Structure 1
Amino acid sequence: MTDFSNILENVPNFRRYITVDELHQRNADLVNEHPDKVELIDLGRSTNGEVIDCLKIGDGKYNALIHGFPNCEEPFGGNLLDYFAEALVLDDDFRESMDYTWYLVKCSDPDGARLNEGFHTGPHTPINFTLNYYRTPNALTAESCFPYRFGPLDLNEPVPETKALMRILDRVPMSFISSLHMMKWGGITYEVPEPCEPIYPGLWSVAKQFNVFPRKRLGTTYAPGIQYAAYLSPARGWVQQWNAGNRNIEPIKGCYIYEYAQMVNPNAFMMIPECCIWYDPRMWDDTPLDATLGESILYAKEREDEVNNYMLRIWNEALPYLKTGSPFKVMMDEWMEPIINKYTNVTNPPFSFNKRVQEKQATMAEKIGVEGRDDLYRMFYLGGLIRTFEAELEAGGSEKLDGLCVEVMGKLQEYDNYLHDNYTVTAHPIRNLVGMSLGSILYSAEYAKSKQKAVVKGYQL
């Protein structure tokens, strides 16, 4: 096992998230300073024509691809990969001991990331996040649009951002992959496709080192903070639903990056360190309460239904006046579709909880985690409405939208007030998220080696 304690101890004390322009510049600087150790690969252009670049570092017999901003409102991956790239270059012993060739894409969705940069530089509050919120629709997301042909599915419409990642994946069989996702409320959930017991102690250790708690998330968990991620295989999930006779299934544009990588190397392993932006200190408290999990689940469902009904009313009033195809309008179209059509979700399937789970005594951590999530997330949906209306108004849209925008802003302020009245909203230090996630990636990359059979080195892009 490689000793990477020095790498983790030297994680910088980041004060903010790094912007897209800064990431491009940092890549160029690193290559100029260390041309013998780093290769800068142009993977192509984004939808809006921006360069998507990749750092290739190391010459090991195992290959790893890690990309940041898999969802463009999830910014910590840029910081992690920026630090990790420099650490790899400066520590020859560490780089050689890991025996990997690293493909690091700091930002796989630069167009979307730019639309969130009002949050990246601060303040890091829920209201500022909401007012700068944009999430690329799943049908246009880099890691969700890979070609896939099986059974009734024949999908081959990769978006430019997906084609950029394909330039690596089509040529290099990956031993390990990670997409640097973030949730918004809680601690850490290590998302994996299968049980991987040998690395559980390492994953727990780095979480403890950086003061991040295993997230008390309801669902299919293998161990505390380690969860089976159904969203790693949406195309397979779609086919399973079809074979079961379901015809009201979420439309998908392709398979997930993990499914695609396995076509080249069936032994590829993926781990996503799904950390969170905010938490409430009570999430550390496992004291049992005089309440059941079912009560918290019902609370969350009621909050979701409430905001969905509110959004549906506002959306129906606004639709006749939405004339421009802004990215925010496209985002909201996808958001509203399942509320209207109520199809089976396969890209992020919801959990169902049996009677035993519903009747279980809740802990303080579980109650705050379950209920607080929906009290927070409902704000983001309103942020999407506001940005959609603002974009239309900037293009000379109807005064009707101005009135709706004011109404939604009032509802958003009501939600924000409620959040702060009922929770102690605390931002995780970025250093903690980066250090914990990087440590988990290194443990997982070491584990991935044990899953490989014959390995070939020396791929040239």
Structure 2
Amino acid sequence: MAPAASQSTPAPRDHAAADVPAALRPWIERVATVPHTDAYPGVDELLAGFRALATRYPERVGERRIGTSTLGEPLPCFTVRADSATDRAGADETDRGSAARTADGEAPPHYVVVGGVHPNEPVGAVTALHLATALCEDDALREHFGGVWDIVPCIDPDGARLNEGWFHSPADKRLYGRHFYRPPGDRQVEWTFPFAYRDAYFDRVLPETFALMRLIDATRPRFLTTLHNCEAGGVYYYLNRPSPELYPLLEAIPTAAGIPLATGEPEAAHAPRYAPSVYGCIDMRDAYDYLDSLGADPADEIAGASSAAYAEPYGTFYFVTEVPHWSHPEADDETPVRERHADVIRERAEGFRATGEVLGRLLDTAAPQLTLPTPFLAAVRDFVPSLTKIADLETSRAEGLPDRPATVSERYACRHSVHCFRVRVGGMLLRALGAEITAGTASPEVRACHTELLEVYAVWEAEAAPVTGDPLPIATLAGVQYAALLAAADHSMPGGAPAPEPADRT
């Protein structure tokens, strides 16, 4: 099955802020309401911020534990209630499987917001705390939605702590790569929900994933968003069902912030494209069929399903905003270029293959001498072989693409993705080798591999820097995510009440 996003020349962008109904424009104004910050909060700082809010607004905010991380850390969920009609005792029952009740006995709607599903994506930490603060301070916003907001600040604190080395200076690209961590595919919270399809079966649910399963089952949410961000380029979205009335607003929100849309090559070629930069959710059944069509073994490549799939039986509207750490002007340039679309895909495949060969050789050389089972080693043992597999898939995919020119944005997305994987996976291998040196357990072979990788990695860093683009203000990124999630939550509501104007907090 050829990818839906690549069957024809991309459609032109035809939405503008002027297309947004006046009743919805106040959501756009919310972009500018997030306070300035130069750093992302660490796990302890983030939870302290939520607990300070609960102390300041005890009648509005509650805290409960929904589970325990793999390393034994409590996983808190903070609940912001719309009004006193929501029974406080009932709110605490969500951890035991029954939703809170309003005064008339009906379960109120729940809006579930989950941060830290990928620990290298910290924009959502700022978004989540700002959302909770706004719901407490802005009566009109809280009353507009009604019901209960269940906010999990960080569902993977173990992984987030391994990224804190760059959180304090996120514009520093060198720091980012050398302190980067992302778990292997079968240890990522977002991709370890139960899954069974054809020859694939997954039930190795993580403790963190199980905590979210219980939360979703207890609340049966009207709206669910998991807070993600990408590395570079522009903004894009995932929705679990087509929502054409949202598309103009989803373009207008990043436009108001001066951030381009990501109109180039999609993150997942098998995801349906609803509009420029708006995609259907990544569905593992579609991924299975797609991999099968390219000659891969899907059952060997796929782990679990997503939170979107798990919430689907409850009729939940699922929504994701991906915002980039760094922005590049080519991210939304749909001008045709001389290169053919299939050729830029092949170029990307060769970039992945070359990266996999370098890292694979170093990992194979060092592996017999490695003594520490660090998270970084587990990650590179998963990601390094995947680079060659991705190269094979992309090469096969290119053979079935229509003969047409690539766009500037497609070429950019392909070239940037190679730099992204070099920096991320190379950085984690450096950390795995460096851990042996720090612990005093590094053999001469390990030290030699570390020295060689340092030299290669410095070249990769220099080559990646101009392609990555310019850093974006954290408040702007969180503002786009905040405004978009409110607009999507509003879309999930029955009826059509006008969006409330942002409260004056001066």
Give the TM-score of the pair, scaled to structure 2: 0.80
Contact residue 263 and residue 332 of structure 2 kept, 8 A: no
1:62 aligns with 2:109: yes
Q: 2:308 aligns with which of 241, 248, 258?
A: 258
Q: Matched residue of 2:158: which SS?
A: helix
Q: 2:453 aligns with which of 408, 411, 418?
A: 408
Instruction: After TM superposition, list the pairs within 5 Å mapping 1:110-129 onto structure 2.
Output: 110-129=157-176
Question: Which residue of structure 1 lines up, in the alignment, with residue 243 of structure 2?
Answer: 196
1:445 aligns with 2:489: yes
Q: 1:275 aligns with which of 323, 339, 342?
A: 323
Instruction: After TM superposition, list the pairs within 5 Å mapping 1:241-252 onto structure 2.
Output: 249-250=299-300, 252=302
Note the C-alpha offset of 1:241.
6.9
Contact residue 31 and residue 479 of structure 2 kept, 8 A: yes
Q: Matched residue of 1:209: which SS?
A: helix
Note the C-alpha offset of 1:153.
5.3
Q: Matched residue of 1:170: which SS?
A: helix
Q: 2:55 aligns with which of 23, 32, 39?
A: 32
Distance in 2 of aligned mates of 1:448 and 1:354: 40
Distance in 1 of aligned mates of 2:29 and 2:413: 33
Q: 2:444 aligns with which of 392, 395, 399?
A: 399
Contact residue 297 and residue 371 of structure 1 kept, 8 A: no
For residues 397-437 of structure 1, what are the alpha-carbon distances to aligned partners after superposition, in whole Å with 9 as ceiling and x for unaligned? Answer: 312111111111111111122234x5472012212211111
Contact residue 287 and residue 364 of structure 1 kept, 8 A: yes
| CA shift in 2, pair 1:342/1:28, >3 Å | closer
Distance in 2 of aligned mates of 1:236 and 1:63: 29
Contact residue 182 and residue 379 of structure 2 kept, 8 A: yes
| CA shift in 2, pair 1:125/1:300, >3 Å | farther
1:146 aligns with 2:217: no
Q: Which AA in structure 2 matches 1:425?
A: G
Q: Note the residue ranges of structure 1 that are not aligned, 5 or more in a row.
A: 452-461
Q: 1:48 aligns with which of 57, 61, 71?
A: 71
Distance in 2 of aligned mates of 1:340 and 1:375: 15
1:311 aligns with 2:355: no
| CA shift in 2, pair 1:354/1:226, >3 Å | farther
Q: 2:412 aligns with which of 364, 368, 373?
A: 368
Q: Which AA in structure 1 matches 2:55?
A: N
Distance in 2 of aligned mates of 1:134 and 1:404: 20
Note the C-alpha offset of 1:102.
1.1
Note the C-alpha offset of 1:310.
0.9
Contact residue 350 and residue 391 of structure 2 kept, 8 A: no
Note the C-alpha offset of 1:278.
1.4
| CA shift in 2, pair 1:352/1:22, >3 Å | same
Contact residue 152 and residue 239 of structure 1 kept, 8 A: no
Distance in 2 of aligned mates of 1:365 and 1:240: 23
Distance in 2 of aligned mates of 1:368 and 1:31: 44
Contact residue 250 and residue 344 of structure 1 kept, 8 A: no
Note the C-alpha offset of 1:20.
0.7
Instruction: After TM superposition, list the pairs within 5 Å mapping 1:331-346 onto structure 2.
Output: 331-339=379-387
Q: Which AA in structure 1 matches 2:257?
A: F
Note the C-alpha offset of 1:175.
1.6
| CA shift in 2, pair 1:441/1:293, >3 Å | same
Q: Matched residue of 2:366: which SS?
A: helix
Q: Matched residue of 1:272: which SS?
A: strand
For residues 186-222 of structure 1, what are the alpha-carbon distances to aligned partners after superposition, in whole Å with 9 as ceiling and x for unaligned? Answer: 1111122332101001111111111111102224422
1:226 aligns with 2:278: yes
Distance in 2 of aligned mates of 1:351 and 1:216: 23
Question: Which residue of structure 2 lines up, in the alignment, with residue 157 of structure 1?
Answer: 204
Contact residue 264 and residue 331 of structure 2 kept, 8 A: no
Paired-residue identity, %: 24
For residues 109-144 of structure 1, what are the alpha-carbon distances to aligned partners after superposition, in whole Å with 9 as ceiling and x for unaligned? Answer: 101001011111015233211100110222122222
Question: Which residue of structure 2 lines up, in the alignment, with residue 456 of structure 1?
Answer: none
Question: Which residue of structure 2 lines up, in the alignment, with residue 430 of structure 1?
Answer: 474
Distance in 2 of aligned mates of 1:343 and 1:367: 16
Distance in 1 of aligned mates of 2:338 and 2:287: 37
Aligned residues: 442
Q: Matched residue of 2:492: which SS?
A: helix
Distance in 2 of aligned mates of 1:169 and 1:235: 21
51-60 or 279-288: which moved more? Answer: 279-288
Distance in 1 of aligned mates of 2:332 and 2:224: 30
Distance in 2 of aligned mates of 1:30 and 1:180: 20
Instruction: After TM superposition, list the pairs within 5 Å mapping 1:178-217 onto structure 2.
Output: 178-217=225-264
Distance in 1 of aligned mates of 2:296 and 2:422: 29
